[in-house]
A = this chain, B = another copy of it.
Amino acid sequence: MSPDFASKLLENAVSEFAKLPGIGRKTALRLVLHLLRQEPSVADSFGNAIIRLRHDIKYCHVCHNISDTETCALCADTTRDSSTICVVENVREVMAVEATGQFRGLYHVLGGVISPMDGIGPADLEIESLVERVAAGGVKEIILALSATMEGDTTNFYIFRKLAPYDVRISLIARGVSVGDELEYTDEITLGRSILNRTPFSDSFKG
């Protein structure tokens, strides 16, 4: 595709789209030409939704989840079990866990995992505020639901150490063979773990 667009406005819009992850210049051009074919109001509502989102969005002061209000809808929901906190990396994982319908407690969004390679240390994450939530009392269990990577494991261990002084149960989401996976293609570490952490057969009828 020619780098020489007939219009600077077009060039500009395509460049902005192409900055997004996974969007190349060809796709960017396709999307921009699509918007051009729509009514002006479509482009307005698209553009304004992005601008408003970035300016007006808040983060819940309790769990640091994305929110329109000071306290997010999940933390404000008194029907949820406030004695259980599920620790996740990002907003997206809150949605993923919520989508399962299996969890009725609250969340704590760390904002990432400890990763010295990327220059992310414990102080860059919402770990201190998690400790404060536990220290405030009323929390019985912390469920660590981070990625099953080295960085995730490091962060799990760091949090485990930080919470050791408190009377709180710390658990880890189960790791094992994914539902629908063929055993033959499961890596040996996952398979090994799933054998070590085997559950009573009758438990598989739950939920």
Contact = CB atoms under 8 A, between A and B. Distances in A.
B40 A44 contact: no
Q: Is the interface of A mostly helix, strand, loop or mixed?
A: helix
B57 A51 contact: no
Contact of A66 (B10, B16, B65): B10
B36 A20 contact: no
Contact of A47 (B1, B22, B51, B74): B51
Copies in the complex: 2
A27 interface: yes
Given A29-B95, A33-B90, A38-B54, 18 more contacts: A4-B98, A5-B95, A7-B57, A10-B57, A10-B66, A13-B52, A20-B35, A21-B30, A32-B50, A32-B53, A36-B57, A40-B54, A40-B55, A42-B54, A43-B51, A43-B55, A44-B54, A47-B47
Interface of A: 1-2, 4-10, 12-13, 15-17, 19-23, 27, 29-36, 38, 40, 42-57, 60, 65-68, 72-74, 90-92, 94-96, 98-99
